[in-house]
Amino acid sequence: MSKLTLNSYPHMLGFEQLERLLERSAKSGNEGYPPYNIEQTSDHSYRITLAVAGFAEEDLVITVEDRQLVIRGRQRDDSEGRIFLHRGIAARQFQRMFVLADGVEVGEAVMENGLLHVDLTRAVPQSVVQTINIRKG
């Protein structure tokens, strides 16, 4: 079976970057931690919610790098001088990446009850009709 690519559709011009974004997203290495939700909050806005219990605001870094939203978490090791009889809550680091389409902007991030909410908005493209003049050659 041959691999289906956007190049298979000659009427789809200028979408080569979309194929690269899909490949990069598939290789992003996102593991199952932390769990997250993505919800559509209006016709042009979204919210990503990550379960980051145990992380403080200063343990989290949110950046946009090359049209990718990257959320990183690294907890400080505060176990010095403590004796654990059982340690089931591991202090682990994570990196979650989300590929953003052109026109999607990252809004505010809010930490609430162990959940990190990141709001996104998509600019509504204006409908433009352009008439191209034909000149004699």
Residue from 35, 78, 77, 75 nearest 59 by CA: 75
CATH of domain 32-77+87-124: 2.60.40.790
Cis before 125? omega within 30? no
Q: What is the pLDDT of residue 15?
A: 67
pTM over 0.85: no
Tell me the per-residue pLDDT of 21-79, one tens digit each, with 9 for 90 and over.
Answer: 667 666 655 568 899 999 999 999 999 999 998 899 999 999 999 889 999 999 887 77
How do strand 60-65 and strand 115-122 relate by DSSP bridges? unpaired
Between these two residues, 89 and 46, which has the higher pLDDT value?
46
Q: Which uninterrupted H or E stretch holds 50? A: strand 45-51
28-32 long-range CB contacts below 8 Å, 24 or more apart? 28/68, 28/97, 28/99, 29/95, 29/97, 30/95, 30/96, 30/97, 31/94
DSSP 8-class letter at 8: G
